[in-house]
Each structure stands twice: as C-alpha cells, then as structure tokens.
A and B are shown apart, each in its own frame.
Chain A
Amino acid sequence: METRSGLITDSTDAELMLATARGDLGAFATLVEKYHPRAVAYASRMAGDPDEARDLAQEAFLRLLRAAPRYEARASLVSYLYTILRNLLRSSRRRREDPLVWNPATMRVGGAVDRSDLDARDPEITLGERERLEKIEGAIAALPDRLREVFVLSELEGMSYQEIGRICRCPIGTVASRKHAAVARLRVELAFLRNG
C-alpha cells in the first residue's frame, strides 16, 4: 500500500529492495524512513560525533542503493545495512587515533539531533533525569569499540547474537563473551544508579 507521502507500508524489506533495484525510489524512500533513525543512533554511539554519524548514515544508504541490484535476501536487510555502516565506521575510525570520550556538549542521548530535540520528545524530562541518561550514554561510550558495538547492537538495537556475529564477522561464542564483558564493565560504571 502506498501512503500519501509516497511511502510503501506493507511490503517486506526484501520486496522493497527488489523494487529499489528496479529503480523505484519510493521503495528506497520507505527504507530510508524506516531505518535512518536507527542507523544514525548506531553511528552516533559508535563514532561519537553526531555530524560524522549523519554523514556516515547517508553514505551507508547510498551504498545500499548502489548495491540493490546485487542484493540477495539471505540475511535481514538491517544486518546488511549495519554491515555497510560498520565498514564505513571502521574506515573512519582508522583515520582517527583518539579514543571515543563521551562529551555531552557534542554527543546526544539516543542519537538526538540536539538537546532541544530530547526535550521536545519528552517535555517532562527533568535536569536530573537528563544527567542520568547522559551518564549511561557516557558509560556506553567509554566501552572499547569491540565491546561497544556488540552491546549497542544487542541491547539497544535488539539484534540476536547470530545477526551480530554476521555483522561483526565473528562466531556467536565471541559475541556472547564480548556482551558479557561489556555488561560487566557497565555494571561497575553504573553502580551509582543502584546505590542512589
């Protein structure tokens, strides 16, 4: 079904990619609408810079578009998109030696565009609550890249270990051990939340 905005609402991702491969930009727009927020949030948490995250997400979608004629629906489209995004992130990180450090002045909770965006989404949010969310994002940002990517994909993107293994090109056992290590570190970093 096509909506008034030209978006197709009841097709599977594979059907949308097939239509995209035939040159149907409406189908591609539907995919962008559906996955852009998640792609930006993931890139934001991995790159640490919202501007860079938006650029990387844009490049990932354009690569997805160019790859559409070769796309074979063997894995979920979101895994495919995240694999492209991860490769872009790795190339970008190789050029930057500095470790990722959470900076509330430039990084946003939940991949928000800016601070007012977070307030607009939740007008009831208090200063204390915002600080708490920023501390959680800060603790996630402080994880080493390998642990952070597994943690973000699993906990915040809701992906299975199998999908994560496919994206990160590692066995499921490695995903499980990285997830365990990430959670162990976060428990230490976020112990203050339980202690008040």
Chain B
Amino acid sequence: MMEMSCEAIRRRLVAYLDGELDARAAQEVDRHLLACAPCRGEAESLRAMRLEWRGLPSPVSDPRDREAILLAAATIKPARWRAPVSWFPWFRASDWVTVGAAAMALLLAWAYRQGEAEGVGDRRSWLVWSIADYEAREDARPPESGGNLRIRW
C-alpha cells in the first residue's frame, strides 16, 4: 500500500482530529504521525488552536425572549394540530396508498375466483357476471314485482 504524503496527511488532519475519517484512513494518519515529527507537530498545533475557540463561553439566552416565543406560540390556532391518536403512527400516507391498492387487488382476485366457482365458464369478470345475472333474474321476475329494484351482490 502506498504511503500518503505529508501534504495529503495535513489535508486530512482536521477531519482526523474531528474523528470523521473512516477507520482505515485514520489508521494511516496514526501511522504517519508516529513516523513524521513535522506532521505530528502540525497536529499538536491544531489541537492547541482548537482549545482557543472551544474556550469561548457557552451560549445563554434571555428568558424574556423565550417567554415571547411561548406567548406567540399560544396564539397559533389549535385547528392546525394533528389528530391526537394515530393507531398506526409508523405508517405514512404513501404506505396507506400501497395497503389500499393491495386490498383492492385481493378483493378483485377473490371476486374473480368466486365467479369461476359459481360456474361462469368464460373469462368475464365477476362484476360483469353479476350484472348479467341480475338482468337475467330481473327479466325472469313477474312484471308486478319489477317496481322494487334492488341490487344484490
């Protein structure tokens, strides 16, 4: 494996000190630093420098600003809030579309099989068959009962 040059190592030093290099690259830098005094000095100098800015005081904020936010928040209308209970909170809208499509496909497949089981010999769908059956029954019905139409599936 080809050794990285000092320049390549120095370009990686900041990421190395941040712990952002992958294990292999970090090992390579480790090995180089053990063998190369100038690069080791560079790394030490960087470490010392970052202590300077990391010594900046931690931020604080004015409690009045936080109160102002909460006062403004209280004016946001509750109508915008989400419904309190979701039975399947891990489901997103797109998941529900997939489930709906799958359920529809299953229903149609079941309906088709039902049609075949009940003796429909051709490849017409159960829906077409049901309508034809309904019309046939309506035709066979005595004329006096024709006024009360009901669809039966």
Q: Which residues of A contact B (CB under 8 A)?
A: 21-23, 25, 28-29, 32-33, 36-41, 44, 54, 57-58, 61-62, 65-66, 68-69, 72, 109-113, 117-118, 121-122, 133, 136-137, 140, 154-156, 160-161, 172, 176, 179-180, 183, 186-187, 190, 193-194
**Known contacts A25-B70, A29-B70: does B52 contact A190 (CB below 8 Å)?**
yes
A109 touches B54 (CB 8 A): no
User: Hey, which chain A residues are within 8 Å of B66, CB to CB?
Assistant: 29, 32-33, 36
Within 8 A of A (CB), among B1-47: 11, 14-15, 18, 20, 45-46
A58 touches B69 (CB 8 A): yes
Q: List 12 A-B contacts (CB under 8 A).
A: A21-B81, A21-B82, A25-B70, A54-B62, A57-B61, A58-B68, A61-B73, A111-B59, A113-B60, A176-B14, A180-B14, A186-B53
| Interface residues on chain B, size class | 35 or more
Interface presence of B151 (CB below 8 A):
no
Chain B positions 67 through 84: 1 when the CB is less than 8 Å from some CB of chain A, otherwise 0: 011101110101011101
Query: Which residue in B49, B70, B81 is a CB contact (below 8 Å) of A190?
Result: B49
B49 touches A186 (CB 8 A): yes
A112 touches B60 (CB 8 A): yes
User: Hey, which chain B residues are within 8 Å of A194, CB to CB?
Assistant: 45, 48-49
Query: Which residue in A22, A136, A172 is a CB contact (below 8 Å) of B81?
Result: A22
Interface presence of B57 (CB below 8 A):
yes
Q: Which residue of B lies closest to A135 (CB)?
A: B52
Q: How far is the CA of A44 from the CA of B62 in the complex (A)?
A: 13
Q: How far is the CA of A122 from the CA of B49 in the complex (A)?
A: 22
A133 touches B57 (CB 8 A): yes
**Known contacts A23-B78, A54-B62, A194-B45: does B56 contact A156 (CB below 8 Å)?**
yes
